[in-house]
Structure 1
Amino acid sequence: MKFLLYNIRYAAGTGARFNLPVPGAGYLRGNFENLNAITEFIKSHSPDVVGLVEVDTGSIRTRMVNQAEAIARRLGHYSSYQCKYGTGSFNNKLPVIRKQANAFLAAPEVHGERFHYFDTGIKRLILELELEDLAIFLVHLSLKYRHRHWQLRHLHDLVKASKKPVIVAGDFNTFWGEHEMYLFMQAAGLRSANVEGLPSYPSQAPRKQLDFILYGRGLRSTGFEVPQVRFSDHLPLIGEFEHQ
């Protein structure tokens, strides 16, 4: 099973254009050329499952185009997505912001999807995709160190409760890399597919390991890469797994 993880930054792009006419202006306008480039990149790797972080599900920024569904159609995949803020969050009432989500795209038959929520932090969604023989969790953790560790405790409990082998992936915002993840990984029985600790952020000159694909007992990693493509401020991760 090939799994591709990508924080696509709402397909807003990178470089000087992103910060014109003011810093961060790229977040407010769509970039259909970049969305197409991301889609073609993903398609070229023929992943079985894709985890997308920072995807727009149809705001005025994208002219109401749901990026998760648009990419899924091109791949011939099933799509599952949800706003990444808590159900009672004020962010769910704000234009553009309320359409900011995480998503799964899947070619295998899906046996279920669940939306869990952390009880702390701004980005609270834990997206779970259940396949026939494994479960995959997708997260985008808090920028605050204390909140991240509360969130990791919650995530640990979900992983331990799973009756199937698990993959846990996402943008963990771990500014100290895998060192910050060590206790969580040990307690949850998880390993990183990125055994060399390759950085994924920022894409122009990677130096931080923020993005992870972790896997648990019952799975074996058979391949891993960090493609050097710069359609987002993060680099994508690709992991391949088989059952033991």
Structure 2
Amino acid sequence: MERVVRLLTYNIQHGKGVDGKVRLRRVAAVLQRYNPDAVALQEVDRHLPRSYLRHQARALARYLGMHFVFAPTLSWLGICQYGLAILSRYPISEHQYYPLPGAHEPRGLQSASLDHDAGTFFLLNTHLGLNFQEREKQAEAIRETIRSLSGPVVLAGDMNTERLTFPELPVTPPGHLPTFPSYRPRFGLDRIFASRHWRITKAFTPPAGASDHLPLLVELVLAN
């Protein structure tokens, strides 16, 4: 029997919804509704006043009963941080963070090894820059990391563009799946790419007002 992996990527805008209010439980409710096995989150706060000093990745993991790893891309005083998080129902056996090149807001790539029933796979999580030239350099750095990995790989995140491709990860949802802005989605900025080890059986953007982005959810199975 095929083992489906439900993977969701979501830029949560530190829990700030379309009504301008920060309510992390709304994000948790979206995740609970769609019951993913693994989640790639961007714009996650840790101990910042605007989000009530919460460690958001830890709080969401507790709500959902999942493992988590957090990777800050920005840090103030070593306590207040902002960045990327991965949640997983599978054990996380390894976690790495790779800073990405750029002269504007710091960006990075988070990598976690998830111990799936059929074997370990890599889940990569990122949030690329707004500048085209900077984004191209960041994408090339990610490609170098992907080439260094062996086995099944999935890359998810807010790419801030619809035009990006990763030749090493040719499996991606077909068609146009807009995720931004969440109240009237037009642009497919949130993307998922997978290695040839996978095939995608379902992909959709669930409606949600918990952020300025919609989540993107895919169901993958390891190809025979």
If the length of structure 1 is used for normalisation, what is the TM-score? 0.83
Amino acid at match of 1:131: L
| Structure 1 contact 123–141 (Cα < 8 Å) conserved | no
Normalized per residue, the structure richer in strand is 2
- Match of residue 198, structure 2, among 213, 219, 236: 219
Shift in CA distance, 127/95, structure 1 to aligned 2, threshold 3 Å: closer
| Correspondence for 2:93 | 111
1:95 to partner: Cα distance:
9.5
| Structure 1 contact 51–105 (Cα < 8 Å) conserved | yes
| Structure 1 contact 123–140 (Cα < 8 Å) conserved | no
Q: Which runs of 5+ in 1 are unaligned?
A: 19-25, 86-91
Q: How many residues align?
A: 214
* 1:39-78 aligned within 5 A: 39-78=28-67
Q: What RMSD in Å do the two structures reach over aligned CA positions?
A: 1.7
| Correspondence for 2:112 | 129
Identity over aligned residues, as a percent? 27
| Correspondence for 1:233 | 212
* 1:151-170 aligned within 5 A: 151-170=138-157
Normalized per residue, the structure richer in helix is 1
| Structure 2 contact 154–169 (Cα < 8 Å) conserved | no
- Match of residue 5, structure 1, among 9, 12, 17: 9
Which of 1 and 2 has higher RCO (CA within 8 Å, sep 6+)?
A: 2
